[in-house]
Amino acid sequence: MPDDSRVAGCLFGLALGDALAAPVEFIRSAAEITRRFPPHGPTEPHGNPARVTDDTQMALAVGEALLVAPQPYTAATLEGPLGAAFVAWNRSPENDRAPGLTCMRACEGLERGLPWIEATVATSKGCGANMRVAPVGFLPGAHLGITDTTRAAIAQFQAALTHGHPTALAASDLTARTIADLAAGGDSATLPARLRAYAGSQRTTYHADWLGTLWQQPGMASSEQFIARGLG
């Protein structure tokens, strides 16, 4: 398991970058960013304390769900804690930072008691699933029952509760893989090559025990075809 300093560094870095970029989130051109924040854009977070967005809020929600979920982790043990954490975020008065419509729509379905596979937005491949996956990358290793396969399944499952498109699943899987790799001491210079190899090896790997019948969407002939669409 990575030491505490690496976990803290990743999460504080996530929050810092989130707060730094928050003022330019909805500015659509680099020219406009530099016009408003000369000469090269924001150089430090605004406010004391700096204000993060829903990205950091939801990453913390995933981390909290992982802490309270009974182990060993399975879809059955994680669905409740993840759903509860997402609903709590959605209902919070602090959820006032331009949250994504997909996340809110799915959370509303979860709050109504829908199974996640009905609450998720199956066509959404937005970044809302990827922005929150960092805590999954820090799950302990195989000596505590978290294999690479389990970590990948959890990364995709937390995405699937709101964003059901295979691209959302793939992006979350690759981000968690990146964090786990670097936290274990992987060389950042050769990371892209390792990620390409990993993506190739997982191209037809569908975590059926976690994702169930999510693959059964229009145009999909098999679970392998579904997940391959996300990993390219």
Condensed to tens digits (0 to 9), the pLDDT of residues 23-77 reads 999 999 999 999 999 999 999 998 889 999 999 999 999 999 999 999 899 999 9
Which pLDDT score is estimated for 143?
Answer: 60
**Region of poorest pLDDT, from 81-90, 139-148, 178-187:** 139-148
Phi, psi for 144 (deg, rounded to 5): -115, 20
- Domain coordinates in residue numbering, the chain: 1-51, 53-231
- Class for the domain spanning 53-231: mainly alpha
Percent of residues, the chain, with pLDDT higher than 90: 88
| Paired tokens of 134 | 């960092």
79 CB-contact burial (10 Å; exposed 0-12 / middle 13-18 / buried 19+): buried
Q: What is the DSSP string of 104-155?
A: HHHHHHHHTT--HHHHSBTT---TTTTTT-HHHHT---GGGT--HHHHHHHH
**What is the pTM assigned to this prediction?**
0.94
Q: Three-class SS string for 20-48?
A: HHHHHCCCCCHHHHHHHCCCCCCCCCCEC
